[in-house]
Amino acid sequence: MKSGNKLIGVGILTAMAASLCCITPVLALIAGASGLGSTFSWLEPYRTYFIGLTILVLVFAWFQKLKPIKQKDCNCVSEKETKFIQTKTFLGIVTAFTIIMLAFPYYSSIFYSRTQKPISVVDKSHVQKVEFTLSGMTCNSCEEHINHQVNRLTGIINSTPSYKNKNIIIEFDNSKTNIVVIKKVIKSTGYSVTNIRDLK
């Protein structure tokens, strides 16, 4: 049974490792330390392996738990009470927790408040559209983290982050903010700006 408990522990650890790069930006936002957002982004290339290992561990743990126990030929009565940590209920709780952890990148956006910008009339001659190429973004949670911080600035009209394209395209009123200020805010989240391209 001890090996079963170790398997469950490995399953939990690998599930957490698979989602750590996406959990960190949310924890950083809650803690008010947004610069820690990209701390575990180095784990992203290994996410698929962690997910695979987690699934293998859980499948094996369930196989061990559900396989029939061979009865020994013995007339002895054994009423050894099973510890909760060794029950199917506990393994079910661990499995549910693991699924929640693995799916975290897909629902992490619920932790970020939607910033409703007041609609204001902007002189079109002041509107500037810039693409910031970034490094360190690995999932939707990273997108939300950067988007949330950028939209707190005055003068931001629209922002579209993409972890797949490794960029954020920002439309802003250059009479109220500028590229230097926006870059500083992005860097404060822990992600690096590798290139800036004026689109308009």
Q: How many distinct structural domains can be found in the chain?
A: 2
Range(s) of the domain holding residue 28: 2-68+85-110
26 & 60 share domain: yes
Q: Is residue 165 very low, low, confident or very high in pLDDT (cuts 50, 70, 90)?
A: very high
The answer to whether the beta carbons of residues 72 and 22 sit under 8 Å apart is no
98 & 149 share domain: no
125 & 179 share domain: yes
Tokens representing 33? 């330390």
6 & 58 share domain: yes
Q: Is residue 62 part of a domain?
A: yes
Q: Is residue 80 part of a domain?
A: no
Query: 88 - beta bridge partners?
Result: none
130 & 148 share domain: yes
99 & 150 share domain: no
Residues ≥6 apart with Cβ < 8 Å to 143: 137, 161, 162, 163, 168
The answer to whether the beta carbons of residues 142 and 41 sit under 8 Å apart is yes
Give me the CATH number covering residue 119. Answer: 3.30.70.100
175 & 146 share domain: yes
Q: Is residue 137 part of a domain?
A: yes
Chain length of the chain? 200
Neighbouring CB atoms inside 10 A of 17's CB total 19
13 & 105 share domain: yes
pTM of the model: 0.59
136 & 170 share domain: yes
pLDDT digits 0-9 by tens, 89-147:
888 888 888 888 777 777 766 766 655 555 565 678 889 999 999 988 877 778 888 88
Q: Is residue 74 part of a domain?
A: no
Helices (H), ranges, the chain:
2-31, 47-66, 88-102, 104-107, 140-150, 179-188
pLDDT digits 0-9 by tens, 11-68:
777 766 666 666 666 555 555 555 555 556 666 667 777 778 888 888 888 888 787 7
134 & 158 share domain: yes
101 & 125 share domain: no
End-to-end Cα separation, the chain, in angstroms: 64
Q: Is residue 79 part of a domain?
A: no
Neighbouring CB atoms inside 10 A of 63's CB total 9
